[in-house]
Chains A and B, each alone.
Chain A
Amino acid sequence: MNEDPHGEVAVDEVELSEELAGAGTSVASDDVAEYALRLGDDALILAQQLGWWISRAPELEEDVALGNIGLDLLGHARSLLHYAGTASGRTEDDLAYWRDEREFRCAWLFEQPNGDFAHTIARQLLTSIYLDALYSRLVHSTDPTLAAIAAKAVKEVAYHVDHAEQWMLRLAHGTDESRRRITVALADVWPYLDELFRDDALTERLGDAVVAPSALRAPVTDAVAAILAACDLQAPAVPFAAGGGREGRHSSYLGYHLAELQVLARQHPGASW
């Protein structure tokens, strides 16, 4: 490991190469890197969107909650993107700021816009339950770095599930207007759930190093169904969206998120503060 003789710590690559030491294999294979990119991009784009709510949520405590959840996700994104970058000699910042839309691998659910508060909560319900199911299984990955990142993330995501569940109950059993809005929001985000459960050649090749997306369908739909039952809401009867994020085909929203996320780094390359 190269130590920085000047003691400067502004370079993220240096920080995280240290962070992942001791978590096992430090260089990802190309396939594992591609998988880590998918998970890292999901976390990064959702973190970016949740940060928008700070100062705009219905109450101060909720600004703080969504900000904290976003911060957790950003931590997961940093670990995953750093690991993905080890395969190609790129840093987490290279991957976050210097890839174009088609090079991102996030699923469409994570790109769906914040909308009103109900849309953000409906999206939080699906993403948190999915991430909880995913990370709680990825801890058994044969890849020690993926397992270590998952073991840390799963404990944090459990709090995100709680948060989403409590708001689902509150919105569904609140006023007529809150119930109307959460019903609409759920139908709007529901089409993007199916993409998360599609196996492809990559996940098949990776076998026990990853969690087969199809293995998550039952646990996720069961957990969501249990919460919807408590909310006295039905699973929306809407068709699934095409998806394609894992191959770089994205919904129309991703470009706008990336514009906001990347503009500073691209206009002022190397900027630090």
Chain B
Amino acid sequence: MTAWDIAATIVDPEIPVLTIEDLGVLREVVEDGDRVRVDLTPTYSGCPAIDAMRDDVRSALEGAGYREVEVRTVLAPAWTTDWMTEDGKRKLHDYGITPPNARAADGRVALRMAVKCPRCDSLDTREVARFGSTSCKALYECASCLEPFDFFKVL
């Protein structure tokens, strides 16, 4: 396993089906013998999950025998949901969270895509609250199966 493979096993503590690779939070891994540097980028500015991810990456790499592990958190370029992998989107859907359904755009987009219910695939859904249980999610409900669900907002 490369250092990237090891770092890529770390999951988001808030959404444990997603690895930091799926999320696009894992940006770069540079190996040099038993030294390794990992660059992570936070999702939202205030997201506390980045601290846990950083600790977990460090422990995993130290556990794999790397003697010097440097985990940097880089701000630029700013994270976007466009970096989420297709595999990550599928896992989110299976977990009951609707993945981002459009590409991030500069400026405001007046016309939004319908948000599909992850349980019954109905497009007849409505936004209950634009801010949800974590910074990255909005709360929706489905008018077909009546279930509430989270939507991972486009950023």
Question: A158 to chain B: which residues have CB within 8 Å?
Answer: 108
Chain A residue with Cβ nearest B28: A22
Q: Once the chains are docked, how many angstroms separate the CA of A62 from the CA of B70?
A: 39
Which residues, 38 to 54 on B, are CB-close (under 8 Å) to A?
Answer: 39, 42, 44-47, 51, 54
Majority SS at the chain A contact face: helix
- The docked-state distance in angstroms from the alpha carbon of A156 to that of B104 is 12
The residue from B44, B75, B104 contacting A23, defined by CB atoms under 8 A apart: B75
A residues 1-44 near B (Cβ < 8 Å) are 1, 3, 7, 9, 15, 18-24
CA distance A199 to B4 in the complex (A): 48
Evaluate contact between A76 and B130: CB separation under 8 angstroms. Answer: no
Complex contacts, A153 vs chain B, CB 8 Å: 45
Q: Given A71-B46, A71-B135, A156-B44, are A163 and B75 neighbors across the interface (CB < 8 Å)?
A: no
B73 within 8 A of A: yes
Interface window among B8-16, B76-84, B90-98, B115-123: B76-84
**Contacting residues, chain B, for A67 (C-beta < 8 A):** 131
CA distance A197 to B119 in the complex (A): 49
Contacting pair A21 B72 (CB below 8 A): yes
B residues within 8 A CB of A144?
Answer: 76
Contact call B44/A18, Cβ cutoff below 8 A: no
Which residues of A in the span 59-102 have a Cβ within 8 Å of any Cβ on B?
61-62, 64-65, 67-69, 71-76, 78-79
Q: Which residues 211-241 of A sit at the B interface, judged by CB distance below 8 A?
A: none
B75 to chain A, nearest CB (A): 4
A18-B76 contact in complex given A9-B55, A65-B129, C-beta closer than 8 Å: no
B135-A21 in contact (CB<8A): no
Query: Of A7, A21, A69, which contacts B131 at CB under 8 A?
Result: A69
Q: How far is the CB of A56 from chain B (nearest CB, A)?
A: 16
Q: Please, how many residues of chain A have a CB less than 8 angstroms from a CB on the other chain?
A: 40
Contacts A152-B78, A155-B104, A155-B155: A19 and B73 contacting too (C-beta < 8 A)?
Answer: yes
B146 contacts the other chain (CB 8 A): no
Is there contact, CB below 8 Å, between A20 and B135? Answer: no
Do A61 and B128 touch (CB < 8 A)?
yes
Is B139's CB within 8 Å of the partner chain A? yes
Show 9 residue pairs from A and B whose CB-CB distance is below 8 angstroms, ordered by the A residue: A3-B68, A19-B72, A20-B75, A22-B72, A22-B74, A61-B139, A152-B42, A156-B135, A162-B130
Q: A7-B55, A18-B54 are in contact. List 17 more A-B contacts (CB 8 A).
A: A9-B51, A15-B51, A15-B54, A15-B73, A22-B39, A22-B74, A22-B75, A61-B128, A64-B132, A64-B139, A68-B131, A147-B76, A148-B76, A151-B76, A152-B76, A152-B78, A153-B45
